[in-house]
Structure 1
Amino acid sequence: MKIVIMVALAFGLDLLLGDPHSWPHPIKAIGHLIAWLTKKFNQPAFSTSRRKQLGVLTWLITVGGAGLIIAGIMWLAAINDYLYMAVGTYLCYTCLSARQLAIEAEKIMKSLQNNDLQMARHQVGMIVGRDTDSLSAEEVTKAAIETVAENTSDGVIAPLFYLVIGGPVLGMMYKAINTLDSMIGYRNEKYRAFGEFSAKVDDIANYLPARITWLLLIISSWLLHDDTKEAIAVGERDCEKHLSPNSAFSEAVVAGALHLQLGGPHYYFGQLVRKPYIGNDHLVIAANWHLKRTITMLYMSSVIGLITFELIRLLVIVWE
Structure 2
Amino acid sequence: MWPFNPLQILAAMAIDLAIGDPNRWPHIARYAGALSSAYERWLTGVCGSESGVPGSELCDVSMKSPVSTLNQKPGTRNQKPRTIFSGLLFWFLVVGTMLGGYLVIRLVCSLVSPIAGYIFDILVVYQAIAARDLHKHAKAVLDALRSDNLEAARERLSWIVGRDTQHLDQSEISRATIESVAESLVDGIVGPLFWALIGGAPGALIYRTANTLDSMVGHRTQAYEKFGKPAARIDDVLNWLPARICALIICILRPASWLITRREAKGHASPNAGWPEAAMAYTLGVRLGGTNFYNREPIKGPLFNASGRVATVNDIKIGLTRIWWVVFAVGSVFLALSSISFDVGSVSKPVEARNLGGTG
Looking at structure 2, the residues matched to 67 and 146 of structure 1 have their Cα atoms a distance apart, in angstroms, of 32
SS of 2:186's equivalent in the other structure is helix
Match of 1:253 among 270, 279, 293: 279
Letter in structure 2 aligned against 1:297: R
Aligned partner letter, 1:301: V
How many residue pairs are counted as aligned between the two chains? 311
Residue 232 (str. 1) matches residue 258 (str. 2) = yes
In 1: Cα distance, 2:5 partner to 2:108 partner:
17
* Aligned pairs (5 A) from 1:149-164: 149-164=182-197
Cα distance in 2, alignment partners of residues 314 and 69 from structure 1: 32
Task: Name the counterpart of 1:68.
Answer: 100
Q: Deviations over 1:17-39 (max 9, x none)?
A: 11111211111111122123334
Name stretches of at least 5 consecutive residues in structure 2 with no aligned partner: 52-77, 349-360
2:6–2:337: 8 Å Cα contact kept in structure 1? no
One-letter amino acid of the structure 2 residue matched with residue 263 of structure 1 = G
| Aligned equivalent of 2:169 | 136
Partner of 1:303: 328
Q: Does 1:279 align with 2:305?
A: yes
- The CA distance in 1 between the partners of 2:246 and 2:299, in whole Å, is 26
Q: Counterparts of 1:310 and 1:233 in 2: how far apart (Å)?
A: 28
- Write the deviation string for residues 44-89 of structure 1: whole angstroms up to 9, x where unpaired: 55576x4322211110111122222112222221121221222121
| Larger Cα-atom Rg | 2
Kept in 2, the 8 Å contact 1:161–1:309? The answer is no
Alpha-carbon deviation of 1:3? 2.7
Matched, 1:288 2:290: no
Relative to structure 2, which stretch is displaced further, 89-98 or 27-36? 27-36
The question of 1:33 aligning with 2:35 is answered: yes
- Which residue of 1 is the match for residue 294 of structure 2? 268
Q: Using the alignment, how far apart are the partners of 2:204 and 2:304 within structure 1?
A: 30
Once residues 223 and 155 of structure 2 are traced to their aligned partners in structure 1, the CA distance between those partners, rounded to angstroms, is: 24
Q: In the TM superposition, what is the alpha-carbon distance from 1:273 to its structure 2 partner?
A: 1.7
Where structure 1 has 5 or more consecutive residues not aligned to the other structure, the ranges are 223-227
**Residues 1-320 of structure 1: pairs in structure 2 closer than 5 A:** 3-42=5-44, 43=46, 44=51, 46=79, 50-79=82-111, 80-219=113-252, 221-222=253-254, 228-229=255-256, 231-282=257-308, 284-309=309-334, 311-312=336-337, 315=340, 318=344
Contact 2:171 2:310 in 1 (8 A): yes
Give distance in 1, aligned partners of 2:146 and 2:185. Answer: 24
What is the TM-score normalised by the length of structure 1?
Answer: 0.90
Aligned mates of 1:24, 1:56 — CA distance in 2: 27
1:164–1:313: 8 Å Cα contact kept in structure 2?
A: no
Q: 2:186 and 2:168 mapped to 1: Cα distance?
A: 25
Which whole-Å CA distance do the structure 2 matches of 1:93 and 1:258 have between them? 29
CA shift at 1:146, angstroms? 0.5
The answer for the alignment partner of 1:225 in structure 2 is none
Q: Please say if residues 41 and 51 of structure 1, whose CA atoms lie closer than 8 Å, have aligned partners that are also in contact.
A: no
CA-atom RMSD in angstroms: 2.1
CA contact 1:234–1:255 (8 Å) conserved in 2: no
Deviates more, 1:209-218 or 1:64-73: 64-73
CA contact (8 A) 2:9 2:334 kept: no
TM-score by length of 2: 0.81
TM-aligned CA deviation for residue 234 of structure 1: 3.4
Distance in structure 1 (CA, Å) of the matches to 2:306 and 2:17: 33
* 1:67–1:170 contact (8 Å) kept in structure 2: no
Return 233-242 or 199-208, whichever deviates more: 233-242
CA separation of 1:41 and 1:267: change in aligned 2, threshold 3 A: farther
**TM superposition shift of 1:316:** 6.7
1:129-155 CA-to-partner distances (Å, cap 9, x unmatched) read 112122112111111100111111111
CA distance in 2, matches of 1:310, 1:72: 30
Question: Tell me, what secondary structure is at the counterpart of 1:244?
Answer: coil
- For residues 62-120 of structure 1, give each alpha carbon's deviation from its aligned partner in whole angstroms, at most 9, with x where no partner exists: 11222221122222211212212221211111011011000000000011111111111
Q: CA deviation at 1:237?
A: 2.4
1:280 is displaced (CA, Å) by: 2.5
4+ aligned runs moved over 6 Å, structure 1: none
